[in-house]
């Protein structure tokens, strides 16, 4: 995550303000799309052999022939931003612009807060007062001058005294309100972290095999949020509480077939197996020992360490 601290030639933090990497930027159009669905939450009861894939990564769309295929919100929303950009060019003439969906040196959450789309919650997520935090953000930076003298759009913080997200985080990544230690966050560990995971964090990772929804699933604002209805972001049923055995049985070609075009591919085949090994250890199910023994001899050091830890946990030996 070194990109977060990248500076320019003047030693300015690139992500501090949009006009540092883009001096021409005069306005930002911030868009929001809900991915909330009627499926269970990660905090709801589930079989011990079930893993958890973050809700946002379930996305899919149905082709004209009825076949359901994975979709990636980055591509879905970027296409929509590009369409908006083209329409604005037709109406306003040529102008400088850049479109980003979690892919550029802009802090979407801060821009969304300034645009009046919500407030930053104690779990560091943007919370929309009507849609909750199960939302994607997309930003179009432009050289168009915003109308002057507009009243503030800022929505006040409505978290109040609630601290459910902090109390629920199993790895203590939310070490203070509005503050996150990303190196302890399950989403970071299961997706971006490429090496062996600290054994001290593995038990807290529970059954999460890609991302984590816990701090959002316990948020009262998401209990009131309406179900989304975006045909390009519909959930894939097979990714809700997926069986650990089914995911573990995939070889690399099967992984590519299942997740090509899906955010889950970001973790990589080896990364997903490492995460599965940890979830197996936390399941308490000794039926996973044969698989874990095979993985404990793997060439990949992260998988090998995770499988060894899981075996020790299931077999009752000190880890």
- Please state, in angstroms and rounded to a whole number, the distance separating the CA atoms of residues 162 and 165: 8
Structural domain total, the chain: 1
The active-site residue out of 102, 157, 181, 300 is 102
Q: What is the pTM of this model?
A: 0.91
**Which range of residues forms the domain containing residue 289?**
2-314
319 in a structural domain: no
Q: Where on the phi/psi map is residue 93: left (φ > 0), alpha (ψ -120 to 50), or beta?
A: left
Per-residue pLDDT of the chain (319 residues; tens, 9 = 90+): 554 445 555 555 444 567 678 889 999 999 999 999 999 999 999 999 999 999 999 999 999 999 999 999 999 999 999 999 999 999 999 999 999 998 888 889 999 999 999 999 999 999 999 999 999 999 999 999 887 765 567 899 999 999 999 999 999 999 999 999 999 999 999 999 999 999 999 999 999 999 999 999 999 999 989 998 899 999 999 999 999 999 999 999 999 999 999 999 999 999 999 999 999 999 999 999 999 999 999 999 999 999 999 999 999 865 4
Asked if 72 is an active-site residue, the reply is: no
190 in a structural domain: yes
- 3 state DSSP class of 33: strand
- Cβ–Cβ under 8 Å, residues 216 and 121: no
> SS3 breakdown of the chain: % helix, strand, coil, rounded to 5?
40, 15, 45
- Cβ–Cβ under 8 Å, residues 178 and 120: yes
263 in a structural domain: yes
- Cβ–Cβ under 8 Å, residues 109 and 137: yes
- 3 state DSSP class of 306: helix
């Amino acid at each position: 995550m070194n990109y977060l601290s990248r500076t320019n030639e003047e030693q300015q933090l690139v992500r501090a303000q949009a006009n540092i990497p883009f001096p021409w930027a005069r306005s930002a159009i911030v868009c929001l799309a809900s991915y909330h669905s009627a499926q269970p939450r990660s905090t709801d009861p589930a079989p011990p052999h079930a893993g958890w894939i973050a809700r946002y990564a379930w996305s899919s769309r149905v082709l004209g022939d009825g076949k359901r295929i994975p979709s990636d919100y980055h591509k879905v929303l970027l296409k929509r931003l590009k369409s908006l950009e083209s329409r604005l060019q037709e109406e306003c003439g040529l102008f400088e612009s850049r479109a980003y969906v979690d892919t550029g040196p802009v802090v979407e959450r801060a821009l969304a807060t300034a645009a009046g789309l919500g407030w930053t919650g104690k779990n560091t997520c943007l919370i929309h007062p009507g849609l909750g935090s199960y939302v994607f953000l997309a930003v179009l930076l432009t050289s168009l001058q915003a109308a002057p003298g507009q009243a503030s759009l800022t929505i006040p913080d409505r978290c109040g005294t609630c601290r459910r997200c902090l109390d629920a985080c199993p790895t203590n990544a939310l070490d203070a309100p509005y503050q996150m230690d990303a190196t302890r966050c399950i989403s970071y560990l299961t997706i971006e972290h490429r090496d062996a995971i600290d054994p001290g964090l593995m038990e807290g990772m529970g059954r999460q095999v890609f991302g984590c929804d816990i701090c959002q699933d316990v948020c009262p604002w998401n209990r009131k949020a309406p179900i989304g209805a975006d045909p390009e972001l519909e959930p894939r049923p097979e990714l809700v509480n997926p069986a650990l055995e089914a995911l573990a049985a995939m070889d690399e070609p099967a992984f590519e077939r299942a997740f090509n075009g899906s955010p889950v591919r970001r973790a990589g085949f080896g990364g997903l197996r490492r995460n599965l090994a940890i979830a197996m250890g936390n399941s308490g199910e000794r039926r996973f020992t044969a698989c874990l023994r095979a993985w404990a001899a793997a060439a990949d050091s992260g998988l090998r360490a995770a499988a060894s830890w899981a075996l020790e946990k299931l077999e009752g030996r000190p880890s």
